[in-house]
Structure 1
């Protein structure tokens, strides 16, 4: 399999997720988010080992598409459920939830590598992870909010005023969500860019040897996970405006340090600042999407998730085009500029 074929297969994964995210809100509205979490999680658990058994490219494309659909469904459902729980208990938790997601990804990759290093065949390692996921879903399902409870929370925190159900009012609510989605697109774009381009940047512009080029993304992702675990305290002590605007400015500064620094140590500090600044922007946007008056989170969260995930998928390609026509430095500086745009939009919006 060449790089082009691999790219097309990964496009099937992303396409499945993007297709399912907007539809997930409809199903969440009909049966509740915990039901969608259960079904999507079970599908993901079943399909995961199959990915390691398929050898035909066309069949692999179909399996990846199904896996992407399950990931898209569970992503929207978990964020919607998290927002509902946050509204119910009356204190911020979304940053912590996203932080645990980051920690889970880190431990998942380390755990899978450990199982394989211990001599476990990759397919058996995948089956082990799938079984753990199924057990977790079954054991925790009843502890999640019921459909009826979710409806009560929506009525309490997103009340619909019949006098506002007009074309003008509807447009206002829709634009509110789209603006959040646009800012989420930019935040996710930076994550995708760091994953795909940070190693190349360190190799080509900082002279880092190939075996150590992953250190930039590692610094970024660890800083992001740590800051997200502290993010709810920041939102409580400060406010969402300070967290988003301050975080955007810090992220922009971090990128400029990465680009301009002549020393690797300072470059890594730039990656850390980028992770710290960008960490809590997305959780705040999801939280706000779940508290828009007159609009259910089952409508707002799928839109925000879809636009954000689109940024993560399309962002690296957009930066690649900029790098091709100009340079990778200009591409990174574009991300810094976009974070300034987020800060400006949020300041005007608030």
Structure 2
């Protein structure tokens, strides 16, 4: 069944929405499962801050190599079809992380995990944009809400696994397998993506023209998101002094703040044009991070993390919608270009934080995030869609 002649009914709309949303949730959840156990992996392999940063850099490298290839495959073979395959590979790579015998193999598996995770990011955003255009509704922020929800659920499995004493092997096998099964079940909707024949070969995907600024804005938001995923637990444990099992709580409430804000994204987008939303959001995120750093007590730090999440939440969906509807660049290519900078940030953020933290302190590296948030306000004009 192809969707191109299918009528837009409420039932079809919810079926197709659910299929795309399940893939976003899977992608986020697998990432959340991994992020929740980074302190355990760090201890298991005896890694320093900067060694961990270096390994996380390999994950980033895998993704950046995969973006243009995924964009090209998506244009050639269809976004929906490629997304499902990458979902399976992503879950297998997560499991591989639990059985890596030493830092060398761990690095290689992280490279693969980053590639499948990043490639899937590009293709699922393409699939989401197709369904959004077909449904004639703004849906992108709800898909990204499902990503954050997945990430929160994934991080939650980490809390349970630590509490009940599950090692990495059983945690990653049970969580990864269960999440993959559920996502594949929900994503069977018969949607077949139409290949895009105009797409040229896969070269390193860098955005052109106005899309460069859109990509930079996404990068500022995503560096914050990536840093929260990988360092907030270590920050709360080492700098703030919370108990180890409570350390993942910072990322969990940051994720919840993002989910709630993204679910209200359609309403916010009707309220004001994207460039105005971004201008305010950057200030909210910056203020939140400043509060988190300066607060003398844990509740203040957590409140800051909530504001930081609210401020960053809509930047990705807005950047991807802007890219997918660019008048001059084919969809797969435009998305891959913005993803290179955007997801580059999610993946580059953590190792950069590690290097800054090694040279100064973790608090200083969190202060850099506040400055990045302010840049969102500066770049907000880029989200204006050209007439």
Please tell me the TM-score bracket, short chain as reference: 0.7 to 0.9
- 2:101 is paired with a residue whose SS is coil
Map of 1:277-288 to 2, 5 A cutoff?
277-288=311-322
Distance 1:322 1:99, change over 3 A: same
Matching residue of 1:162: none
The 10-residue stretch of structure 1 (207-216 or 303-312) with the greater mean CA deviation from structure 2: 207-216
Greater helix content: 1
How much has 1:34 moved relative to structure 2? Answer: 1.1
Q: Does 1:258 align with 2:292?
A: yes
Q: Does 1:190 align with 2:190?
A: no
Matching residue of 1:271: 305
Matching residue of 1:73: 119
CA distance in 2, matches of 1:259, 1:38: 40
Distance 1:257 1:295, change over 3 A: same
How much has 1:279 moved relative to structure 2? Answer: 1.0
Matching residue of 1:339: 373
Matching residue of 2:98: 52
How much has 1:63 moved relative to structure 2? Answer: 3.3
CA distance in 1, matches of 2:363, 2:355: 12
Q: Does 1:82 align with 2:82?
A: no
Conservation of the 8 A alpha-carbon contact between 2:220 and 2:373: yes
Q: Does 1:309 align with 2:355?
A: no
Q: Does 1:102 align with 2:148?
A: yes
TM-score, normalised by the number of residues in structure 1: 0.80
- 1:307 is paired with a residue whose SS is helix
How much has 1:182 moved relative to structure 2? Answer: 0.8
How much has 1:197 moved relative to structure 2? Answer: 4.2
Pick aligned residue for 1:36 from 82, 97, 105: 82
CA distance in 2, matches of 1:119, 1:322: 32
How much has 1:127 moved relative to structure 2? Answer: 4.2
The 10-residue stretch of structure 1 (276-285 or 320-329) with the greater mean CA deviation from structure 2: 320-329
Matching residue of 1:23: 69
Aligned pairs, how many?
329
Distance 1:124 1:259, change over 3 A: closer
Q: Which has the larger radius of gyration?
A: 1
Conservation of the 8 A alpha-carbon contact between 1:34 and 1:144: no
CA distance in 2, matches of 1:297, 1:339: 27
- 2:325 is paired with a residue whose SS is coil
Matching residue of 1:2: 46
How much has 1:226 moved relative to structure 2? Answer: 1.7
Matching residue of 1:245: 279
CA distance in 2, matches of 1:343, 1:135: 40
The 10-residue stretch of structure 1 (258-267 or 183-192) with the greater mean CA deviation from structure 2: 258-267
CA RMSD of aligned residues (A): 3.3
How much has 1:265 moved relative to structure 2? Answer: 3.1
